[in-house]
């Protein structure tokens, strides 16, 4: 498992929220996310709902411990295997 510290896309340095992802490493490194941290909040991955591949990326649609959906992208084309938050969907009804 490793922590990757990355800014969320589209945010200035002053307002950056950090994304940290911890992965399960089974037959290959960083096989799937098991928990992640956005800013000061930590979330456990309850379920990997979907996974798909792009030319240089792997995407994970996950249901987190707050019961919301997140799409996380791992860029495999970079040595650090950057992670970014691509999408969020609030399913709890709280705004």
22-65 confidence digits (pLDDT tens):
999 888 777 899 999 998 899 999 999 999 999 999 999 999 99
Closest CA to 18 of 45, 2, 36: 36
Assigned domain for 11 exists: yes
Residue whose tokens read 């800013």? 39
At 53 the pLDDT is 93
Report pLDDT digits (tens) over 72-82: 999 887 777 78
Does some domain include residue 30? yes
Angle, CA of 8, 61 and 92, to the nearest 5°:
85
Containing structural domain, residue 44 = 6-89
Q: Which of 46, 59, 56 is nearest to 76 (CA)?
A: 56
Do the domain assignments include residue 36?
yes
Burial group, residue 33, by CB count within 10 angstroms (0-12, 13-18, 19+): buried
**95 within some domain:** no
77 part of a folded domain: yes
pLDDT class of 10 with cuts at 50, 70, 90: low
- Number of folded domains that form the chain: 1
Q: Residue 94: inside a domain, yes or no?
A: no
């Amino acid at each position: 498992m490793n922590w990757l510290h990355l800014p969320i896309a589209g945010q200035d340095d002053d307002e950056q929220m950090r994304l940290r992802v911890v992965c399960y490493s089974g037959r290959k490194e960083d096989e799937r996310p098991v928990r992640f941290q956005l800013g000061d909040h930590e979330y456990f991955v309850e379920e990997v709902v979907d996974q798909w591949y792009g030319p240089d990326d792997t995407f994970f649609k996950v249901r987190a411990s707050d019961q919301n959906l997140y799409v996380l992208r791992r860029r495999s084309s970079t040595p650090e295997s950057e992670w970014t938050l691509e999408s969020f969907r609030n399913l709890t009804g709280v705004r």
